[in-house]
Structure 1
Amino acid sequence: MFTENLTRILFSNWQRTLQPFGVDEVAADKAFNQLVTAYSSSDRHYHTLKHIHHVLNMIEILQGYTNNLTAVQFAAWFHDVVYDTQAKDNEQKSADYALELLSSLGISEDTIATVTNLILNTKEHQAAVDDFDSQVLLDADLAIFAASPVDYTEYVYAIRKEYDWVSKAEYIVGRRQVLERFLKRSHIYFTPLMLEFAEPFARSNIQEEIKYLASEYVFD
């Protein structure tokens, strides 16, 4: 039931985003079903429709910082549409996917160009000081870092399942490297709201996960 309700909520969101473009209803439905299929594959445990829902909700909260809200919302829909934990080009393939699908729906070239650029910026999770749309998308994407301890633990477990092909020792080393890179930044978040209210919780969660990984480390 939860999945059905989530799908209905997301479909309504998808329709609202497309509404200004006068997209054919049948084409809009078909595109939505393609997205649902992509985000519902069996190898996904975190990068699912639930993640897209959370990102879109955060964008709604942060929308006051955007220049092109619609492009940010489209980017949220497509930023993980191609997700293979054994690949290095997911962002490029997701941007290409967005380009093809949005073009087929008749979305303007300017909007699509902004969307693809936003998606590509999720690779390194870095945004220029004046790229407010990327800042909002990245903050929404990484909002999970500042989640409650229960939700963060669920996130950690789901990410590990997506990398279940990696040995425990290798995963711990790689995951710690990723987390430590975020901690070394002067700031994880970009928008004033997230910097003030989410940054401390994010750093605390990341530090706790690193401690957990250290305690779990085993030598092969």
Structure 2
Amino acid sequence: MEARFLALWSRCGGVHGEAVYADLVRHYAEPMRRYHTLDHIRRCMRDLDCARAAIHDPDAVELALWCHDVIYIPGAEDNERRSAEWFERCAEGRIAAAGRIAGMILATTHDVAPADLDGRFTVDIDLVNLGDDRAHFRRDEARLRAERPDLDDVAYDARERAFLGALLARPYIYYTDFFRTRCEARARVNLAWRLAQPAPR
């Protein structure tokens, strides 16, 4: 992973790659994280590699994916913004596409559809886990829940239902044909199953 990041960073014009990577790893290894770790980024890299031939600027998408969860404070509403700002500071004005990459990071709030295809690939890759088999889907659910010990079960369930319900209500969960073909059907089954579970009392 380190060699991959350093090659990408250098290829995109970045400097001080070793220091940037060390800080990135430090953030992803923070003790409160269970889901938003380097394992999630490793999964993103795998799915990116599967779709690479369909992506216009795979290096930009890859940088966005590396950095999209680098700042994660449980419950904060501005993690994506802070992650985008972290990336832009590290880019030091040397990465030509830095502004566009920061926009892709911001898009991983999943509030609105990104305007460009590379942004859509970025947000789709972030959500590929929703289309996993049921065992992996439940494992990721448990890891996400473990990151929010500040919420009781009722409050957490309400937040999760609101997010998943909004995804399920969209015409499509995935914005790209590539991931819609591969993940849409199973993701919809998983989300419908989760929303059908009894709410805690």
TM-score (norm 2): 0.93
- 1:195-214 equivalence runs, <5 A: 195-212=180-197, 214=198
Question: Which of the residues 90, 95, 100 maps onto 1:114?
Answer: 100
Q: Secondary structure at the match of 1:207?
A: helix
Aligned to 2:79: 90
Q: Is the 8 A contact 1:65 1:136 kept in 2?
A: no
Aligned to 1:7: none
Q: Is the 8 A contact 1:92 1:120 kept in 2?
A: yes
AA at the equivalent of 1:16: A
Displacement of 1:125 in angstroms is: 4.7
Q: Secondary structure at the match of 2:97?
A: helix
Matched, 1:11 2:5: no
Aligned to 1:170: 155
Aligned to 2:52: 63
- 1:13-92 equivalence runs, <5 A: 13-21=4-12, 27-92=16-81
AA at the equivalent of 1:14: F
Cα distance in structure 1, aligned partners of 2:129 and 2:59: 22
AA at the equivalent of 1:50: D
- Which consecutive unaligned segments of at least 5 residues does structure 1 have? 1-9
- Which consecutive unaligned segments of at least 5 residues does structure 2 have? none
**Sequence identity percentage:** 24
Displacement of 1:197 in angstroms is: 2.1
Displacement of 1:86 in angstroms is: 2.0
Cα distance in structure 2, aligned partners of 1:203 and 1:182: 9
Question: Which of the residues 98, 108, 112 maps onto 1:126?
Answer: 112
Report how many residues are paired.
Answer: 201
RMSD over equivalenced CA pairs, Å: 1.6
Matched, 1:145 2:136: no
Cα distance in structure 1, aligned partners of 2:17 and 2:146: 32
Higher mean C-alpha displacement, 61-70 vs 177-186: 61-70
Larger Cα-atom Rg: 1
Q: Is the 8 A contact 1:85 1:163 kept in 2?
A: yes
Q: 1:115 to 1:15 in 2, by over 3 A?
A: same
Q: 1:115 to 1:22 in 2, by over 3 A?
A: closer
Q: 1:126 to 1:179 in 2, by over 3 A?
A: same
Displacement of 1:82 in angstroms is: 0.7
Aligned to 1:186: 171
Q: Secondary structure at the match of 1:199?
A: helix
